[in-house]
């Protein structure tokens, strides 16, 4: 694929002071104009008040547009260092006061006001983007670069000690993705505002966009009613030729999964991929174990599955959602096993 979105893992340990629990073990970084959707959190700021551990296997900087500017409101972007395992804000306690946050924007008409979010469950800081022209502000939201620096002492895992009064943890930079509302689902019925993306079994079963946490990644897939009990739903994904279902045949949770829901004003569309180029407005909905971004895709799946006892799709095809990686070139989805397609559409948000 020609649009690159990647996370890079720095293979050493950074710590504040002499306490190994003070800072992150490894910082995962992104190149400009890119971000991981593993990224997205469920619900609003006050959904949870969890104290996350400060000693983690990796972290990455995540920012998200919370509000675009209009005639009465400024633009608003939230940023946090998140745990690569849970994709949630890491609580560094009093050490957060040592973090230095910055926003780079090449437009003198724009000013930035940064506010620390000490008690916010989602963000470390919020950046308010101010300007006299609404269009200028909203265009800047997608072109500015965000960075964070962590001052303190450095201690490398190899026991080679180096001291510095102002250590910069990489240059963690990227532009934010549009807000996506992921709703955690543990087998509950499909939400009425779920983003539908296709059907199965002669258009009798509706499919929505979901993502499942397994195989050390977050994989977008299809949500449908559970074949054992229609009062339950299940998220199907396929990885390395193997099908994964979030709710097993005994209706127990096998993998955590979330459902993409539509809020008022959301404008999602499906855009055909031409010559392997991901559309600029495609939204990141998952990630591989190595941090590579994944996008939701879909293709027509028709006819009888390989197992003749299984219900057939419409012979003309029914859309089945899955995922495409930035360098894979194929839409991977689950239909009684793993399927791949070279002709597909990708989800975008306008």
More confident residue, 174 or 240: 240
| pLDDT exceeds 80 at position 8 | no
Last residue of a domain, one of 110, 129, 162: 162
pLDDT at 175: 43
| pLDDT exceeds 80 at position 181 | yes
Tokens encoding 205: 């079963």
Whether residues 16 and 153 share a domain: the answer is yes
Tokens encoding 310: 């299984």
Is 243 within the bounds of a domain?
yes
Under the banding of pLDDT at 50, 70 and 90, the label for residue 347 is very high
Under the banding of pLDDT at 50, 70 and 90, the label for residue 235 is very high
Tell me the sheet residues that pair with 242: 239
More confident residue, 291 or 121: 121
Is 250 within the bounds of a domain?
yes
Whether residues 15 and 128 share a domain: the answer is yes
Whether residues 58 and 202 share a domain: the answer is no
Whether residues 219 and 287 share a domain: the answer is yes
Under the banding of pLDDT at 50, 70 and 90, the label for residue 25 is very low
Under the banding of pLDDT at 50, 70 and 90, the label for residue 18 is very low
> What pLDDT, in 10s, does the model give residues 44-97?
333 322 222 222 235 677 788 888 888 888 998 888 887 766 677 888 888 788
pLDDT at 74: 92
Q: CA 311 to CA 205: how far, in whole Å?
A: 11
> What pLDDT, in 10s, does the model give residues 182-208?
888 889 999 999 999 999 999 999 999
Mean pLDDT for the chain overall: 74
Tell me the sheet residues that pair with 239: 242
Whole-number percent of the chain with pLDDT over 90:
39
Under the banding of pLDDT at 50, 70 and 90, the label for residue 177 is low
pLDDT at 89: 83
Whether residues 120 and 188 share a domain: the answer is no
Whether residues 192 and 325 share a domain: the answer is yes
| pLDDT exceeds 50 at position 309 | yes
More confident residue, 262 or 164: 262
DSSP 47-94: G------SS-S-EEEEEEEEE---SS--EEEEEEEEETTT-SB---GG
Whether residues 143 and 186 share a domain: the answer is no
Under the banding of pLDDT at 50, 70 and 90, the label for residue 140 is confident
Average pLDDT over every residue of 173-182: 62
pLDDT at 41: 30
Q: Looking at 3-7, 121-125, 134-138, which range is the least confident one?
A: 3-7
Under the banding of pLDDT at 50, 70 and 90, the label for residue 138 is confident
| Coil/strand/helix, residue 98 | helix
The verdict on pTM exceeding 0.85 is: no
Range of the domain at 232: 181-349
Whether residues 133 and 188 share a domain: the answer is no
State the total domains in the chain: 2
Last residue of a domain, one of 99, 133, 162: 162
Q: What is the maximum alpha-carbon separation in the chain?
A: 68
Q: Looking at 129-133, 276-280, 326-330, which range is the least confident one?
A: 326-330
Residues 6+ apart with CB under 8 A from 145: 32, 103, 104, 105, 173, 174, 175
pLDDT at 178: 67
Whether residues 201 and 296 share a domain: the answer is yes
Last residue of a domain, one of 134, 162, 190: 162
Is 328 within the bounds of a domain?
yes
Highest mean pLDDT among 55-59, 229-233, 261-265: 229-233
Is 211 within the bounds of a domain?
yes
Cβ 207 vs Cβ 197: under 8 Å: yes
Whether residues 342 and 266 share a domain: the answer is yes
């Amino acid at each position: 694929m020609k649009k690159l979105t990647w996370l890079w893992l720095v293979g050493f340990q950074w710590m504040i002071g002499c306490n190994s629990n003070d800072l992150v073990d490894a910082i995962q970084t992104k190149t400009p104009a890119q971000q991981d959707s593993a990224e997205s959190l469920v619900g609003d700021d006050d959904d949870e008040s969890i104290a996350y551990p400060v000693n983690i296997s990796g972290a990455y900087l995540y920012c998200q547009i919370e509000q675009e500017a209009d005639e009465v409101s400024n633009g608003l972007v939230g940023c946090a260092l998140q745990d690569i395992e849970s994709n949630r804000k890491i609580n560094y306690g009093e050490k957060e006061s040592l973090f230095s946050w910055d926003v780079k924007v090449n437009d003198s008409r724009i000013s930035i006001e940064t506010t620390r979010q000490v008690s916010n469950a989602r963000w470390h800081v919020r950046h308010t983007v101010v300007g006299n022209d609404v269009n200028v502000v909203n265009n800047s939201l997608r072109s500015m670069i965000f960075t964070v620096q962590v001052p303190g002492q450095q201690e490398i895992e190899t026991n080679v000690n180096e001291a510095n009064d102002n250590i910069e943890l990489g240059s963690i930079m990227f532009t934010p993705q549009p807000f996506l509302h992921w709703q955690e689902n543990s087998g509950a019925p499909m939400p009425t505002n779920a983003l539908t993306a296709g059907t199965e079994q002669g258009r009798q079963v509706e499919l929505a966009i979901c993502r499942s946490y397994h195989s050390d990644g977050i994989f977008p897939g299809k949500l449908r009613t559970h074949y054992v009990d229609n009062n339950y739903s299940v998220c199907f994904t396929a990885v390395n030729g193997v099908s994964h279902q979030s709710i097993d045949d005994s209706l127990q949770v096998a993998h955590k999964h979330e459902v993409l829901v539509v809020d008022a004003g959301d404008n999602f569309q499906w855009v055909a991929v031409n010559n392997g180029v991901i559309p600029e407005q495609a939204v990141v909905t998952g990630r591989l174990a190595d941090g590579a971004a994944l996008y939701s895709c879909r293709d027509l799946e028709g006819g009888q599955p390989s197992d003749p006892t299984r219900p057939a799709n419409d012979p003309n095809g029914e859309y089945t959602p899955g995922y495409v990686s930035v360098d894979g070139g194929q839409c991977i989805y689950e239909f009684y096993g793993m399927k791949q397609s070279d002709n597909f559409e990708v989800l975008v948000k306008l």
